[in-house]
Amino acid sequence: MIRARAPVDTVEADDPTGSLEAIYRSWRRVFLAVVPFGILGLLLGVLFEAPGGEPNRFDVTAYLVLASGMTLAEVIVWLRPAAMRVALGATAVGAGVFFVVKLAYVLFTLPAGLDAQRELAESFFWLPGVYALSFLQPRSRSARAVAVAFAALVGLISLRFLLDPLLRAQHPALAYVLLELNLANSVPLALTFAIIRLKEAYARATAERHLAHRFAHQDLLTGLPNRRALESDLEDLIGRDPGSRAAVLFLDLDGFKVINDTLGHESGDAMLKLVADRLQGAMRDGDLVARMSGDEFVVVASGLRSRAEAGDIARRIFDAVSRPFGLNGSELGLTVSIGVAFLPEDGDDARTLLRHADSAMYRVKRSGKNGLKYYSPDIDASLERRGELERDLRTALRDQQIWLAYQPVFDMRDGTLRQVEALLRWQHPRYGAVSPKEFIPLAEESGGIVTIGGWALQEACRQLGSWRTQVPGLRVSVNVSALQLAQPSFFGSVVKALQDADLPADALELDLGEATLRGGIEDVRGTLRGLRGLGVGIALDDFGRGFSSLAHLRDLPVDAVKIASEIVHDIGSAEELPRFGLAMMEAILGLARHLDLTIVAEGVETRAQFDRLFSLGCHRAQGYFFAAPMPGADVSGLVARGGASTVWDRAAN
């Protein structure tokens, strides 16, 4: 079981860490032990009060009042430890009031027959106790106020006596006693201030240590343990019970970035606090909830009897996070991705367990989010490969590992080579040919796609310039990413690539995929219209795969549509799927005729697909049935042989 960390106390402003408060509570035992002796002394004073042979009624009354008050304070502190502060304050004030009133009583209203000096000596040897009670106050301002007020009142009363000639004449010896009393009073006053200063210095030093510990071990936003505290507690669990089974659940909130970006960081912080509270409320006693960073949390569940219990805990987390959160008058929803690593199977130290749980969580994120994944060794191998590819991709272009393949696009009516599509390829020194589906998302995540895409645009235009001398009118299509389109310099880079290759604008076509336009088209519509105005072709790639393709036809200056290979695959199938594929193809072709769009079928692989497309009147096609993507040198050979004549002969016969 993980030991819970104690929350930070809320205390006074001049004791921010609660260190003095803790000492103050520890004085309760001393208070409870000492006060009875004071009460006993007061009661004995009442019993033996007969100075000069006649009892002093003031002392009898005052002693009884003080004894009653101290008894009440003793009972209250015994029953309610939190009342210690009030008890100390009341005792200090009560003692101070007694001495001040006693001094005034002795100097100005003492009954005849009583000796003033003896009366003063009888009580005022207790005077340092007032200062002791004052510096025990937890608040420095209160401690100074009690000490200064007491000293000032004693001094003022003494001065009033000394300035009265008649009183001095009646009690000449008292003048020296009062001078001695006030001089003696200055010593405990100075000591009290010195002790208060020492107490403040101790409080500051303790506060610095406490805050340093808090910054090092506590997440200041949510109050949960932070990564350092989590690792320490997890290591303690492993060392305390090496044979125990525990699960480390690594959580990442899905969609939190959207809340942060749209509602602001204050709302994001408020959401994190709500999530932290939900997680703590959903866990079992003894489970540890910590915040790693950002929107990542970790739950450590110990004492598990089986792996299935970790699944139960994960379901609790899903239930807790999936309920709507009330924030700023609105209800917001979140989901969570969870990766799980087990002690001892998946690691025997805190960092290994956390790394493996993080790896499993990352696999969930890559698979669509909002799910649960248990760690397995193949996850590490996958992440190792990904990390190496991310690192090597930064220098792949410089090291000439990135190159362009070109896939021919043929006219379905006569087999003429109309254009070629430039496709990025990466030949990795260790892994060989890396799929574009693997490395292009990495380039987009890192931002490297801007540089790589810019190079592809320049290289494709340069290569096309050499082919157009043999095949006039040949075009090249280049895929464009969302990051490229978002660059202010994109328009200029396209114009420069055409000028450097001495190509007309209509020799270039830019292919825009569904993913490229997913973030919205408002910011790029002007750029695309400007390029289309120059004559650059704009094509919608993978048309029919996404939900917003028709809206893009309406909103963008499109002149060509490239039908997704999934639809092309369907129309060549012998099952029921052709009914859907044919309906889609007929609808797209009909729309194209009305909008004067060129239709290109992608991924044509079989004769059946070719025949269907030909009978439907599809304009152009590309795919392995005609030609696989090939290096530029092979395209040069194809161009030199007259384009698609040999390929078309095979396809048409």
Sheet containing strand 296-302, edge to edge, reads 288-293, 296-302, 246-254, 335-343, 372-374
Q: Say if residue 6's pLDDT is above 60.
A: no
- Predicted confidence band of residue 495 (pLDDT cuts 50, 70, 90): very high
- Predicted confidence band of residue 45 (pLDDT cuts 50, 70, 90): confident
Q: For 403-430, what is the mean pLDDT? A: 93
Tokens of 561: 């549509």
Burial of 469 (0-12, 13-18, 19+ CB in 10 A): exposed
Assign 508 to helix, strand or coil. strand
Q: Say if residue 445's pLDDT is above 90.
A: no
Beta bridge partners of 433: 427
Q: Say if residue 122's pLDDT is above 50.
A: yes
pLDDT computed for residue 455 by the predictor: 96
Lowest mean pLDDT among 61-65, 379-383, 405-409, 565-569: 379-383
* Mean pLDDT of the chain, nearest integer: 82
More confident residue, 490 or 261: 490
Lowest mean pLDDT among 74-83, 170-179, 183-192: 170-179
Q: d(Cα 67, Cα 55) in Å, to the nearest integer?
A: 18
Q: For 523-527, what is the mean pLDDT? A: 82
Name the nearest CA neighbour of 13 among 134, 194, 140, 193. Answer: 140
Q: For 479-504, what is the mean pLDDT? A: 93
Residue 413 amino acid letter: R
Residues 6+ apart with CB under 8 A from 502: 465
pLDDT tens for each residue of 544-555? 775 556 777 777
Name the nearest CA neighbour of 407 among 538, 585, 565. Answer: 565
pLDDT computed for residue 49 by the predictor: 61
Name the nearest CA neighbour of 479 among 530, 423, 523. Answer: 423
Neighbours of 314 (CB within 10 A): 22
DSSP run (H or E) holding 69: helix 57-79
- Predicted confidence band of residue 525 (pLDDT cuts 50, 70, 90): confident
pTM above 0.85, yes or no: no
Lowest mean pLDDT among 96-105, 108-117, 564-573, 617-626: 108-117
pLDDT computed for residue 16 by the predictor: 46
Output phi, psi for 189, to 5 deg: -65, -45
Half-sphere exposure of 505 (CA within 13 A, CB side): 15
Question: How do strand 475-480 and strand 417-428 relate by DSSP bridges?
Answer: parallel
pLDDT computed for residue 12 by the predictor: 42
Half-sphere exposure of 622 (CA within 13 A, CB side): 24
Query: Per-residue b/e over 388-404, b at no fewer than 16 CB within 10 Å?
Result: ebeebbeebbeeebbbb
Burial of 242 (0-12, 13-18, 19+ CB in 10 A): exposed
pLDDT tens for each residue of 263-306? 888 888 999 999 999 999 999 888 999 999 889 999 999 888 88
Percentage helix, strand, coil, to 5, in the chain?
A: 60, 15, 25
Q: Say if residue 602's pLDDT is above 90.
A: yes
Neighbours of 305 (CB within 10 A): 7
Q: What is the dihedral of CA 585, 588, 593, 599, to 10 degrees?
A: -80
Neighbours of 26 (CB within 10 A): 10
